[in-house]
Structure 1
């Protein structure tokens, strides 16, 4: 018996799509950065460098021993001496100039009552220039055998045995005798007068704050009134004193209590 057989070929596996292979040596393209952004980055980097440099220089200047204070120059003194000012500022010596403030100087000079204010200037590498603005004396106050030079606030600036050397009016009794209010009213009037008028006065007094009177060395009386409009009164009085004298009708009283309508008699 013959048995026929047929060979059935193996079925080929289902076709799978081939994977895409990445070409060897492939390159990813990079787009150039916009010019504006690159420029901003450069500017910011440069600015940062400059700021860092400035900060470094400032720090070096503030703490540098090369700028340490060595010399104190003093001008404008009369009642105090430059040596007194320099001694008072001695704690600042050796401190770098950039670290010294005006308040530092004012604080150290507070003990010198004659000093009203100061102007300070640093002059590298090692000098501090101090211009002193002293209080201005406006009157003399008799205390025993001496006379005190006082300013408008009643601050004693100096003493003298001879009032003629000061060319200032004498306030009768001073604050202790006439009271603080009358003393201040009188001193405020004197503080408004120019130096040439002050030099012509012999004394000042006040019965009340509204009745300040001045006496000239020639014996003439100035009726001032109160301290209001003192600048205008000072100008009117200065003009009256410059007017030609009339020998037949000498002036005994200058009344500037109402400065827009002054009276002489």
Structure 2
């Protein structure tokens, strides 16, 4: 928009020759006109320049002052959450350091190995098998490692451990249970239900276990498995009263008591029920007038004697 301000005129100080100048006379004073810069334009240009130098201004051309910014306090929940996170982080680091120290500390090294639960084996035999654990920190010892070390001892079915800081390792041994004797040459070998040989003796009367008939053959036959399953079901006190065990077939297992009486068992089905029936028959009062020579539990719901 063109300015409405009237131009201002300033008197020139330098004379200028003119075509109308009279010869020999004084030249008249020449008047020149100059247009002044509008104040509003100058003000706008200065404001723009200041805005560029300060890095920003409001839409109205006014610069924001730091004194006009309001600082709100941090919410209480956010402050508490940050404090909890810091606390948990510190606790986790401390616990990690303590665990690492316990796992690798020589203070908790195994120095004593105690064994219980052995009857076929001696504690010394188990301790010797586990001697490689001595000096190892207790937290690094596991049951899987213990069972691996005890594998050469066939009498051990499994083992569990109990750490007793600072340096004692207690090992609970679960041994296999012998259920019968097998004759091998001049010796009698104790076997469990799986046919694992657990030891040998030359005195048949030294072990209160029934002798399995030699006609059964090796321990991986069906006859042996049927007889061993029956013997494994019997309570320890009744098993000790057995003299021999035989089977014409897997469905015709028979047992002989040390007093010469016969137990007709039948097949290996309903073993638990048959064992309870036999226990009840053996506890019945003996009538001298009615001697008993056979206990038949082949039908466990209807056992009888004759």
Please tell me whether residue 236 in structure 1 is matched to residue 280 in structure 2. Answer: no
Q: How many Å apart are 1:7 and its aligned residue?
A: 4.8
Please tell me whether residue 37 in structure 1 is matched to residue 78 in structure 2. Answer: yes
Range with bigger deviation, 124-133 or 8-17: 8-17
Q: How many Å apart are 1:182 and its aligned residue?
A: 0.5
Equivalent position of 1:255 in the other structure: 296
Q: Is the 8 A contact 2:216 2:246 kept in 1?
A: no
Correspondence list, 1:39-54, <5 A: 39-54=80-95
C-alpha distance 59-225 of structure 1, shift in aligned 2 (>3 A): same
Equivalent position of 1:209 in the other structure: 250
SS in 2 for 1:243: coil
State the Cα RMSD in Å. Answer: 2.3
* Unmatched segments (≥5 aa) in structure 2: 1-21, 48-60
C-alpha distance 204-24 of structure 1, shift in aligned 2 (>3 A): closer
Separation in 1, partners of 2:272, 2:88: 56
Q: How many Å apart are 1:116 and its aligned residue?
A: 0.9
1:146 to 183, 187, 201: 187
| Pairs aligned (count) | 265
* Unmatched segments (≥5 aa) in structure 1: none
Correspondence list, 1:122-161, <5 A: 122-161=163-202
Q: How many Å apart are 1:33 and its aligned residue?
A: 1.8
Correspondence list, 1:39-78, <5 A: 39-78=80-119
Separation in 2, partners of 1:113, 1:192: 21
| TM-score, length-scaled by structure 2 | 0.80
Equivalent position of 1:13 in the other structure: 37
Separation in 1, partners of 2:64, 2:285: 118
1:91 to 123, 132, 141: 132
Q: How many Å apart are 1:10 and its aligned residue?
A: 5.0
**CA displacement 1:71-96 (0-9 Å, x = unmatched):** 11101111111111111111211111
Q: Is the 8 A contact 1:142 1:174 kept in 2?
A: no
Q: How many Å apart are 1:31 and its aligned residue?
A: 2.0
C-alpha distance 41-165 of structure 1, shift in aligned 2 (>3 A): same
Separation in 2, partners of 1:179, 1:106: 25
Q: How many Å apart are 1:202 and its aligned residue?
A: 0.8
Equivalent position of 1:191 in the other structure: 232
SS in 1 for 2:272: helix
- The higher relative CO (CA closer than 8 Å, separation ≥ 6) is in 1
Separation in 2, partners of 1:167, 1:232: 24
Q: Is the 8 A contact 1:141 1:174 kept in 2?
A: no
Q: How many Å apart are 1:25 and its aligned residue?
A: 8.2
Q: Is the 8 A contact 2:195 2:220 kept in 1?
A: no
SS in 2 for 1:79: coil
Range with bigger deviation, 13-22 or 116-125: 13-22
Separation in 2, partners of 1:97, 1:198: 41
Equivalent position of 1:176 in the other structure: 217
Separation in 1, partners of 2:68, 2:215: 102
SS in 2 for 1:42: helix
Q: Is the 8 A contact 1:169 1:199 kept in 2?
A: yes
